[in-house]
Amino acid sequence: MNDDIERNLGEQPIAEILSTRELKANDLVAASTEQITHKMVARACKGRRLTPNVKAKVCNALNTATGEAYRIADLFNY
């Protein structure tokens, strides 16, 4: 296993967006047309490194739940 990769990157901007809009992980899971889990959303908020596919799914779910057009770069700082 490569020890050079930092996996925990601190709280991400998506966490602030969710709290500002008073949304929970359950709201994103319910709004998603793709299969995402509460664990995926929790990891996204905590800053656990995600695959590009999971980041896209979380972004799509947030856009569906809010009616906004967030980009992945708006939600994650890595």
Determine the pLDDT at residue 9: 85
For residue 17, tell me if it sits in a domain.
yes
For residue 2, tell me if it sits in a domain.
no
Determine the pLDDT at residue 5: 72
Q: What is the pLDDT of residues 14-72, one digit of tens each?
A: 999 999 999 999 999 999 999 999 999 999 999 999 999 999 999 999 999 999 999 99
Q: Let me know if 45 is exposed, middle or buried by CB neighbors in 10 A (0-12, 13-18, 19+).
A: buried
- For the chain, the distance separating the N- and C-terminal CA atoms, rounded to the nearest angstrom, is 21
- pLDDT category at 2 given cuts 50, 70, 90 is low
Number of compact structural domains in the chain: 1
Q: Residues 3, 48: contact at Cβ < 8 Å?
A: no
Does residue 6 carry a pLDDT above 80? no
Determine the pLDDT at residue 1: 56
What phi and psi values does residue 35 have, to the nearest 5 degrees?
-85, 105
For residue 63, tell me if it sits in a domain.
yes
Determine the pLDDT at residue 64: 96
* Residue ranges making up the domain that contains 33: 13-75
Report the C-alpha gap between 32 and 36 in whole angstroms.
Answer: 7
| Residue given tokens 């908020």 in the structure block | 45
